[in-house]
Amino acid sequence: MAGGADWTSPFNGMTLANLKVWARYLGPGMLVTVGFIDPGNWACNVAAGAGFGYTLLWMVTLSTMMLILLQHNAAHLGIATGLCLSEAATQYLPRWVSRPVLGSAMAAAVSTALAEILGGAIALNMLFGLPLPVGAVLVAGVAAALLFSHSYQRIEKLILGFVTVIGLSFLYELWLVKLDWGAAVAGWVHPVFPSGSMMVIMSVLGAVVMPHNLFLHSEIIQSRHWNLKDESVIRQQMRGELFDTLTGMGIGWAINSAMILLAAATFFQAGTQVTELGQAERMLRPLLGQAAAVVFAVALLFSGLASTITAGMAGGSIGAGMAGTNYNIRRHETLLGMAVTLGGGLLALLLVRNPFKGLLISQMLLSIQLPFTILTQIRLTASRRVMGAAHANTWVENLSLGVVAAVVITLNLLLLLSWIQAA
């Protein structure tokens, strides 16, 4: 291609012999995947499956397809320019544009951290009976300690392990239930809008396509050091990144789908309305047995802790970029961004009276901010001044990203309309 990225070359000649070569690119995409299998997703997916059965699976499929386009484009920015999305916005956009966008993105990171910390605290309450405030402080404290360790490689390996545990947990859970695969297949590909589902649909969208993940991906892709002056190296990095992104997003799609499938096959089938994650765990005991309930809680704990780490990294990246510096845990701009994200999430917990509803609302707020981040990203990656003539978006990529932006904006307008009708 004359510009943009090659979407086919990662799989040209994909054999067992060279699979190890491609495997070395895995990592950044997995960290992003953690962001959309976080506790906020759990709440949204349990609500979707318990309330509407298999019918909202299409939203996971649509959201993941949009996510792949957006995350690949964000990583493309990081590889081609050596800048994260926040740095590029600060450097290339007028201050009156960049400041509101990045400020709202930081607020979205705080909303994300609220969901992550709360989910981990709920899991600790399930497993050990710890009060939610105590569990929240523990989750945030452990995440902060790991972030301050200044070891990206260690964090990456740790989170890869967390994703593995979460994936295996849901495979075990699904093995225990009887699924209606015909209804599931229809749900994956047939969009429907059941009465009263709009808030859940928007929550699923915000839980999968998360603003902070776009900032995070453009930042962490730079951990794979390369020579920006060597065009062949840049091209190879882009091919490796695409392989990593598709792998991570595919795993995330499967896990999110598994959550809805499990809720549909248990709670919806039994006519049980779930209003909190703790209730979901308790209900699994008589339906699937003690082991399944414990596995559910353990996976939720790993999900909460891993996603709190990535939320803190995203907040640090946004904060550093707003100050015109790069992400570095030793710099006060990065530390301030992390502190605002994790501290703001903890503080917001004091205002949450209904944890399950709080998780849903936090994800819905992400979907409302999302159009601003998407439009900013398109503006930057379409610019030859920012990306260079060789790497600016092609017209096909601009069209595809524009369609994604239009879908997100349309869904937000439908949410607004549903609020007006309900008022």
51 vs 27: which has the higher pLDDT: 51
Cβ-contact 359, 199 below 8 angstroms: no
Q: What is the pLDDT of residue 223?
A: 65
Q: What is the pLDDT of residue 321?
A: 94
Calpha distance 25→352 (Å, rounded): 40
Q: What is the pLDDT of residue 296?
A: 81
Calpha distance 95→69 (Å, rounded): 27
Tell me the pLDDT tens digit for each residue of 10-47.
555 555 556 666 667 777 777 788 777 777 777 788 88
Q: What is the pLDDT of residue 5?
A: 47
Tell me how crowded residue 409 is: count the other CB atoms within 10 A of its CB: 14
Tell me the pLDDT tens digit for each residue of 210-253.
888 899 999 988 765 554 566 777 777 888 888 888 988 999 89
Calpha distance 214→199 (Å, rounded): 23
* Mean pLDDT, rounded, for 310-327: 92
- Which CATH architecture best describes the domain 31-422? Up-down Bundle (1.20)
Predicted confidence (pLDDT) at residue 1 exceeds the cutoff of 90: no
Domain ranges in the chain? 31-422
* Mean pLDDT, rounded, for 260-286: 79
Q: What is the pLDDT of residue 8?
A: 46
Q: What is the pLDDT of residue 365?
A: 76
DSSP assignment of 364-397, as one string? HHHHHHHHHHHHHHHHHHT-HHHH-TTTSPPHHH
Q: Which of 139-143, 254-258, 302-306, 309-313 has the lowest mean pLDDT?
A: 302-306
Q: What is the pLDDT of residue 283?
A: 63
Residues of the chain above pLDDT 70, percent: 84
Cβ-contact 32, 309 below 8 angstroms: no
Quick one: CA torsion of 199, 305, 342, 97, rounded to 10 degrees?
A: -50
Select, from the ranges 46-60, 274-288, 405-419, the one with the highest average predicted confidence (pLDDT): 46-60
158 vs 106: which has the higher pLDDT: 106
Q: What is the pLDDT of residue 152?
A: 58
Please report which confidence band the pLDDT of residue 2 belongs to, taking 50, 70 and 90 as the band edges. Answer: very low
DSSP summary character for residue 26: -
Q: Give kind and range of the element (H or E) at residue 133.
A: helix 132-148
Tell me how crowded residue 190 is: count the other CB atoms within 10 A of its CB: 11
Angle at 127 between CA 352 and CA 166, to 5 degrees: 90
Calpha distance 219→85 (Å, rounded): 7
319 phi and psi angles, rounded to 5 deg: -60, -45
Tell me the pLDDT tens digit for each residue of 288-300.
777 777 888 888 8
Residues of the chain above pLDDT 90, percent: 37
Please report which confidence band the pLDDT of residue 334 belongs to, taking 50, 70 and 90 as the band edges. Answer: very high
Calculate the average pLDDT of the chain.
Answer: 83
172 vs 322: which has the higher pLDDT: 322
Chain centroid to Cα 69, Å, comes to 14
Alpha helix (H) ranges present in 149-272? Answer: 152-176, 181-189, 198-208, 211-220, 231-263, 269-270
